[in-house]
Amino acid sequence: MLSDLVMAAERFRGEGALAPRSTKRRRPNWVIEVDSSGQGYLLGPYRGKESHSEITAPDRQRSGKISESNLKPYLLMDDARYALGIAERGKETEAELAHRGFIQLLEEAYESTGDRDLKLIIEYLRKPLADDVRQKVQPKDIVTFRNSRGEFPAARASILDFWSNYLAKELSAGVQATCSVCGQYGEVVRILPNEVKIMGQKCQITSFNLPAFTSFGKQQTTNSPLCYNCATDAISALNYLTQNPKHHAVIARHTGSGQSHPLRNQLAVFWLRQPQQVESGGEELDLEELLKGPLLGMERTGTPPPDLAQLEQLLRIPWTGEESATNLDTNSFHLAVLSANKGRLVVREWITVSLGALRDSLRAFLWATRIVGPRGEEARPCSIPAVVEAMESSDPNVTRGLLRTAYLGEMPPHALLEVALQRFRSVLLSGRAHNDRRYASESARIREQLATLHLLAAALKLSTTYGKEEGEKMEQLDRYATRPAYNCGRLLAVLEEIQLRAANWNINATLVDRFYGGASTAPAATLGPLVRLAETSHLPKIRRENRGYDRLKAELEEVMGRFSAAEGMPCTLTLTQQADFALGFYHQRAEFRRWRQERTQSNTGTTDNTSNS
Ligand SMILES: [Zn+2]
């Protein structure tokens, strides 16, 4: 992971997205121009974003009260306490210390680089401050220097090199070792040069001897020495990833009340070794952007993230971009799942995979989650956080497992089936989704219930059909399926629809509320009597009142005809069969909803022509 991060830093730096090592782009509030005779002229103030361009200047981590042992000045660009010794009220000693440190650092830099501008700045600073400087510049204002040609020494390459070496020396314990990333023998860091922020939590990493970094990447030893450059690069890359929306997604958030559980917060960061454009329909697409799709959350009532639909489409076609074919093997995708715990960074998952393998895995994953919408809407794939949220599972292994299925092509996690099955039943029995006769009158609660059932059905389909050919058939109602469990599920939905129509929807609880549990575990005993009730009482009523008798009768006969005469309905169902039952039920219900909607539309005469579409 560390070496991949170091490589990522190189890539981002090359793209200009990452500032040079140990620097930060900052705007000064004041610039002091020091001419070749050591005379200084105050320029400014610059306030607000437009006032002065950013300067790439030395930076380091600094916190706590200024003291003899905690000075940490920034070279050439710092606040006025450091740069000029301008004190906050009552903190004169601090400012004096800070300023002394600032000058000492300048002297060291001058000795090492021989940069003439530094000598002039030192000369300028040794003189008493000019009146205007003392009056106008505030202690926390950022100050830097330039020469009379308008050049900023703070941004000069030789100065930044010096700065890097200076910090490296300071942060190393004087221990020599071989860097575990670049393989160079030399001083290695004891203290990491910066911290990482994970979902608002700062992680202060004080040593690489942490399980966070060492338990992953089996090539790492328990103690992986790092040189200053590699350590800085890894941290900067990680910080860049956690701050750039294109490269991270929250895949689990602790939402409960009371005590906070930062470990339940999980942030995924991901990137490609090289950026990759893919051509689709004459359009150049940024693959990195699209690969985020499976990690995006989904509003339960909403539509899938656009990226996911686009990605799914893209995975179906051969990639024709000129270099795509060769890059499939050389380019790679990297993903880490991070949490912060008591200021420590926890790496929960680390995935690295070639683009070619990734494409196959993602395709298999998205296809396996594709399932018709709860109202018969076109089948679509589902994202991982959406499925995890629908399951309300706090088991981090389920999330991890799903990630590994999506990105590495591993089998779906075992727990998925059981958790999704339980949730499917409890969500189903928690609402009155059957009551909405028309789609337009659905309440928000019913919409949410339906969306959740959709995601749970996707989870069930994933766990039972992943990697199998029937995956595609199971996207929607399969009228020709002969699996008894699936047809038992269908049958229950048919019986419910018959009951609802017989009662003209004036009903509080349907037979699903009472019998789903029994029907999905012991179908023969439960469904037999219900079929008889439908045939003797409900269907005749539907026929009399003209509420769709022919269609319902045909559906019932079709499903009943799928059970073999010899064996009939099964007595009990295994866990996997119960999932099949749930899918049959879900598919059949979606079919009825679509039908209802069509009827409603054609009855009101508004969309006669499109009702068959
Ligand atoms: Zn190194």
Mean pLDDT of 67-89: 94
Residue 69 Cα to ligand 1 middle (Å): 28
In whole angstroms, what is the distance from residue 158 CA to residue 168 CA? 15
Distance from Cα 18 to the centre of ligand 1, integer Å? 18
Q: Is a pLDDT exceeding 80 seen at residue 319?
A: no
In the structure, what pLDDT confidence band is assigned to residue 200 with cuts at 50, 70 and 90?
confident
CA 240 to ligand 1 center in whole angstroms: 19
How many angstroms separate the alpha carbon of residue 185 from the centre of ligand 1? 8
Separation CA 428–CA 420 (nearest Å): 12
**pLDDT of 527-556, one tens digit each?**
999 999 999 999 999 999 988 899 999 999
**Average model confidence (pLDDT) across the chain:** 85
Say which residues have a Cβ less than 8 Å from residue 415's Cβ, sequence separation at least 6.
Answer: 393, 395, 397, 398, 401
Mean pLDDT calculated for residue range 129-135 = 93
188 alpha carbon to ligand 1 midpoint, in Å? 8
**DSSP classification of residue 180:** T
| Cα 182 to averaged position of ligand 1 atoms, centre (Å) | 4
pLDDT at 260 over 50: yes
| pLDDT one-digit tens code per residue, 331-368 | 899 999 888 877 778 888 899 999 889 988 998 999 89
Closest of 81, 80, 86, 75 to residue 117, by C-alpha: 75
Q: Distance between CA 187 and CA 226 in Å, rounded?
A: 8
pLDDT, residue 612, reads 35
Q: How far apart are CA 370 and CA 457, in angstroms?
A: 10
Dist. CA 4 → ligand 1 center (Å): 12
C-alpha 167 to ligand 1 mean position (Å): 15
Instruction: Find the 211 Cα to ligand 1 centroid distance in Å.
Output: 20
**Cα-to-centroid distance, 165 and ligand 1 (Å):** 13
Least confident of 34-38, 138-142, 362-366, 593-597: 593-597
CA of 275 to the centre of ligand 1 (A): 24
Residue 192 clears pLDDT 80, i.e. is over it? no
Could you give the CA distance from residue 490 to residue 33 in angstroms, rounded to a whole number?
A: 81
Q: What's the 213 CA to ligand 1 centre distance in angstroms?
A: 15
Find out whether the peptide bond into 45 is cis, omega within 30 degrees of 0: yes
CB-CB contact of 376 with 594 (8 Å): yes
Mean pLDDT of 383-398: 85
Ligand 1 centre and the CA of 183: distance in Å?
A: 6
pLDDT in tens, 164-179: 889 888 877 677 888 8
pTM tops 0.75, yes or no: yes
- How many angstroms does the Cα of residue 186 sit away from the middle of ligand 1? 9
**Centre of ligand 1 from the C-alpha of residue 179, in Å:** 5
What is the distance in A from the centroid of ligand 1 to the CA of 451? 49
How far is the centre of ligand 1, averaged over its atoms, from the C-alpha of 230 (Å)?
A: 4
Instruction: Of 442, 457, 462, 466, give the one whose Cα is nearest residue 390.
Output: 457
Q: How far is the CA of 226 from the centre of ligand 1 (A)?
A: 5
- Asked if 29 and 46 touch (Cβ cutoff 8 Å), the reply is yes
Check residue 604 and give its pLDDT. 59
Could you give the percent of the chain with pLDDT greater than 70?
Answer: 87
Q: Within 13 Å of residue 410, how many CA atoms lie on the same side as its CB? A: 15
Say how many Å lie between the CA of residue 241 and the centre of ligand 1. 20
- Give distance in angstroms: CA of 427 to centre of ligand 1: 53
Going from the Cα of 232 to the center of ligand 1, the distance in angstroms, rounded, reads 10
Share of the chain above pLDDT 90, in %: 50
Task: Check: CB of residue 136 under 8 Å from CB of residue 104.
Answer: no
CA 337 to ligand 1 center in whole angstroms: 24
Phi-psi region of 114 (alpha: psi -120 to 50; beta: other; left: phi over 0): left
